[in-house]
Amino acid sequence: PTIYLADYTPPNWLVEEVHLTFRLAPRSTRVLSRVRFAPNPAAMSRAFFLEGEELTLISARIDGAEVKPEVTPEGLTCAVPDGPFLWEAEVEIAPEANTALEGLYLSNGMYTTQCEAQGFRKITYYPDRPDVMSVFTVRIESDLPVLLSNGNRVAQGDGFAEWHDPWPKPAYLFALVAGDLLALPGSFTTRSGKAVELNVWVRKGDEDKCDFAMEALKKSMKWDEDVYGREYDLDIFNIVAVDDFNMGAMENKGLNIFNSSAVLASPETATDANFERIEAIIAHEYFHNWTGNRITCRDWFQLCLKEGLTVFRDAQFTADMRSEPVKRISDVLDLRGRQFREDGGPLAHPVRPESFKEINNFYTATVYEKGAEVIGMLKRLVGDDGYGKAVQLYFDRHDGQACTIEDWLKVFEDATGRDLTQFKRWYSQAGTPVVTMTDSYADGTYTVTLKQTLPDTPGQTDKQPQVIPFAIGLLDPSGAEVVPTTLLELTEREQSFAFEGLKARPVPSPLRGFSAPVVLDHATDNAARAFLLAHDTDPFNRWEAGRQLAKSALVAMIGGGQSPDAAYLDGLRALVTDETLDPAFRALALSLPSEDDLAQAFADAGRTPDPQAIWEGREAMRSAVAEVLADALPALYARHLVTGPYSPEAGPAGKRALTNALLALISRTDGGAAARAQYAAADNMTQQLGALSALLGAGQGAEELAAFADQWRHERLVMDKWFMIQVAQARPEAAAATAAALAERDDFTLTNPNRFRAVFGALAMNQAGFHHASGDGYRLLADWLIRLDPLNPQTTARMCSAFQTWRRYDADRKEMMQAQLERIAALPKLSRDTGEMVGRILG
Ligand code: ARG
Ligand code: ZN
pLDDT > 90 in the chain, percent: 99
Q: What is the pLDDT of residue 685?
A: 98
How far out from the chain centre does Cα 779 lie? 27
Evaluate if residue 495 carries a pLDDT over 80: yes
Asked whether 735 and 770 are in contact (CB, 8 A), the reply is yes
- The number of beta carbons lying within 10 Å of the beta carbon of residue 460 is 17
Q: How many CA atoms lie within 13 A of 322 on its CB side?
A: 31
Q: What is the pLDDT of residue 360?
A: 98
Q: Whose CA is nearest to atom 5 of ligand 1?
A: 250
Q: What is the pLDDT of residue 17?
A: 98
Pairing state between β 13-23 and 75-77: unpaired
Asked whether 803 and 839 are in contact (CB, 8 A), the reply is no
Please tell me whether residue 775 adopts helix, strand or coil conformation: coil
Gap between the Cα atoms of 722 and 716, Å rounded? 10
Q: Is there an atom of ligand 1 within 6 Å of 359 CB? A: no
Q: How many CA atoms lie within 13 A of 264 on its CB side?
A: 23
Q: Once rounded to an integer, what is the mean pLDDT over residues 313-323?
A: 98
How far out from the chain centre does Cα 535 lie? 33
Q: Once rounded to an integer, what is the mean pLDDT over residues 769-792?
A: 98
Residue 433: partners with Cβ closer than 8 Å, 6 or more residues away: 452, 453, 454, 466, 468, 516, 518, 519
Q: What is the pLDDT of residue 567?
A: 87
- Condensed to tens digits (0 to 9), the pLDDT of residues 96-152 reads 999 999 999 999 999 999 999 999 999 999 999 999 999 999 999 999 999 999 999
Gap between the Cα atoms of 538 and 510, Å rounded? 10
Tell me which of 285, 369, 715, 836 is the catalytic residue: 285
Evaluate if residue 560 carries a pLDDT over 90: no
Q: What is the pLDDT of residue 159?
A: 98
Distance from the CA of 115 to the center of ligand 1, in angstroms? 9
Gap between the Cα atoms of 588 and 326, Å rounded? 8
Asked whether 482 and 506 are in contact (CB, 8 A), the reply is yes
Q: Is there an atom of ligand 1 within 6 Å of 247 CB? A: yes
Q: Once rounded to an integer, what is the mean pLDDT over residues 326-355?
A: 98
Q: Which of 25-39, 150-164, 218-232, 555-569 has the weakest average pLDDT?
A: 555-569
Asked whether 540 and 512 are in contact (CB, 8 A), the reply is yes
DSSP lists the bridge partners of residue 473 as 509
Asked whether 133 and 167 are in contact (CB, 8 A), the reply is no
715 tagged catalytic:
no
Q: What is the pLDDT of residue 218?
A: 99
For the chain, the average pLDDT equals 98
Of 489, 417, 430, the closest CA to residue 458 belongs to 430
- The number of beta carbons lying within 10 Å of the beta carbon of residue 651 is 14
Q: Is there an atom of ligand 1 within 6 Å of 116 CB? A: yes
- Condensed to tens digits (0 to 9), the pLDDT of residues 258-309 reads 999 999 999 999 999 999 999 999 999 999 999 999 999 999 999 999 999 9
Enclosing H/E stretch for 48? none
DSSP secondary structure letter of residue 423: T
Q: Whose CA is nearest to atom 1 of ligand 1?
A: 250
Q: What is the pLDDT of residue 772?
A: 98
Amino acid identity, residue 634? P
- The number of beta carbons lying within 10 Å of the beta carbon of residue 669 is 16
What distance, in Å, lies between the first and last C-alpha atoms of the chain? 17
- Condensed to tens digits (0 to 9), the pLDDT of residues 693-728 reads 999 999 999 999 999 999 999 999 999 999 999 999
Q: At what angle do helices 272-287 and 650-666 cross, to 10 degrees?
A: 140
Evaluate if residue 561 carries a pLDDT over 80: no
Asked whether 160 and 242 are in contact (CB, 8 A), the reply is no
The torsion angles phi and psi of 233, rounded to 5 degrees, stand at -125, 15
Gap between the Cα atoms of 99 and 113, Å rounded? 12
- In order, the DSSP letters of 446-490 are EEEEEEEE---BTTB-SPPP--EEEEEEEE-TTS-EEEEEEEEEE
Q: Whose CA is nearest to atom 3 of ligand 1?
A: 250
Q: Is there an atom of ligand 1 within 6 Å of 836 CB? A: no
The torsion angles phi and psi of 402, rounded to 5 degrees, stand at -110, 115
Pairing state between β 402-403 and 296-297: parallel
Q: What is the pLDDT of residue 562?
A: 80
Gap between the Cα atoms of 240 and 217, Å rounded? 13
Q: Is there an atom of ligand 1 within 6 Å of 360 CB? A: yes
Gap between the Cα atoms of 115 and 174, Å rounded? 7
Q: Is there an atom of ligand 1 within 6 Å of 285 CB? A: yes
| Pocket mutation for ligand 1, best pick of 98, 250, 290 (most atoms within 8 Å of C-beta) | 250
Asked whether 425 and 415 are in contact (CB, 8 A), the reply is no
Evaluate if residue 93 carries a pLDDT over 90: yes
pLDDT band, residue 88 (cuts 50/70/90): very high
Gap between the Cα atoms of 524 and 510, Å rounded? 11
- In order, the DSSP letters of 556-606 are HHHHH-PPPPHHHHHHHHHHHT-TTS-HHHHHHHHSPPPHHHHHHHHHHTT
Gap between the Cα atoms of 529 and 542, Å rounded? 9
pLDDT band, residue 563 (cuts 50/70/90): confident
Does residue 117 have a cis bond before it (omega within 30 degrees)?
yes
Evaluate if residue 211 carries a pLDDT over 80: yes
Evaluate if residue 565 carries a pLDDT over 90: no
pLDDT > 70 in the chain, percent: 100
Distance from the CA of 123 to the center of ligand 1, in angstroms? 18
| Pocket mutation for ligand 1, best pick of 113, 116, 172 (most atoms within 8 Å of C-beta) | 116
DSSP secondary structure letter of residue 541: H
Query: Which ligand 1 atom sits closest to the C-alpha of 250?
Result: 2
What interface predicted TM-score (ipTM) does this complex get?
Answer: 0.98
Gap between the Cα atoms of 58 and 538, Å rounded? 65
Q: Whose CA is nearest to atom 12 of ligand 1?
A: 250
